[in-house]
């Protein structure tokens, strides 16, 4: 007999609506949670958040500019596997003296102590290792995570 599974049949099955509600709440929390980092750094000492940017192409490049334009962060490192590509030129020109990397592990290894937060604007399949390594080092992250895919 064809039977639709329900929540009562399988307590571990998460209802789509409940899941989406949780995701939205988590997203709202992240947005709010990111604010104290910027606020603390700027209010206490006038320091800016030292931001490393991983994936500086299309959307990642737009993120770099948006975050920089807040005036609350300084860009301390740029990372892109295709650093010489035309779509990274805009950011390279805007930040000519910022150290560049093609491997996020080298960037975090070499500059970890000088980085407060990492912006992750690489394709979806590469978000996880970059965000996890950064968070495991105590860094804040901004990740271009799609809500559904």
Binding of residue 87 to ligand NAD (CB under 6 A): yes
Closer CB to ligand NAD, 58 or 70, in the complex: 58
Q: Tell me how crowded residue 41 is: count the other CB atoms within 10 A of its CB.
A: 18
Binding of residue 42 to ligand NAD (CB under 6 A): no
Q: Which of 82, 84, 109, 114 binds ligand NAD (CB under 6 A)?
A: 82
Q: What is the rounded CA–CA span in Å between residue 98 and residue 75?
A: 7
* Cβ-contact 142, 120 below 8 angstroms: yes
Closer CB to ligand NAD, 40 or 82, in the complex: 82
Query: In this structure, which long-range contacts are made by residues 21-25, counting pairs with CB atoms below 8 Å and at least 24 apart in sequence?
Result: 23/147
In the bound state, the residue with its beta carbon closest to ligand NAD is 57
Of 44-73, which residues contact ligand NAD (CB under 6 A)?
Answer: 54-55, 57-60
Closer CB to ligand NAD, 25 or 82, in the complex: 82
Binding of residue 134 to ligand NAD (CB under 6 A): no
Sign of CA dihedral 102, 106, 107, 110: negative
**In the complex, least distance from residue 75 CB atom to ligand NAD, rounded to whole angstroms:** 15
Which of 76, 75, 73 shows the shortest CA–CA distance to 38? 73
Which parts of the chain fold into alpha helices (H)?
16-45, 58-69, 89-94, 104-111, 127-136
Binding of residue 115 to ligand NAD (CB under 6 A): no
Binding stretches for ligand NAD (CB under 6 A): 54-55, 57-60, 79-82, 87-88, 104, 121-124, 126, 144, 146
């Amino acid at each position: 007999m064809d039977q639709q599974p329900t929540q009562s049949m399988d307590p571990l099955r998460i209802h789509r609506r409940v899941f989406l509600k949780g995701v939205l709440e988590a997203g709202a929390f992240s947005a709010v949670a990111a604010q104290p980092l910027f606020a603390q750094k700027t209010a206490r000492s006038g320091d800016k958040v030292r931001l490393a940017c991983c994936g500086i192409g299309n959307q990642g490049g737009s993120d770099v500019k948006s975050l920089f334009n807040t005036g609350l962060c300084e860009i301390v490192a740029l990372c892109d596997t295709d650093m010489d590509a035309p779509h990274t030129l805009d950011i390279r020109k805007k930040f000519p003296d910022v150290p560049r990397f093609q491997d996020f592990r080298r960037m975090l290894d070499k500059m970890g102590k000088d980085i407060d937060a990492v912006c992750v604007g690489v394709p979806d399949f590469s978000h996880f290792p970059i965000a996890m390594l950064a968070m495991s080092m105590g860094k804040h992250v901004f990740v271009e995570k799609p809500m559904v895919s």
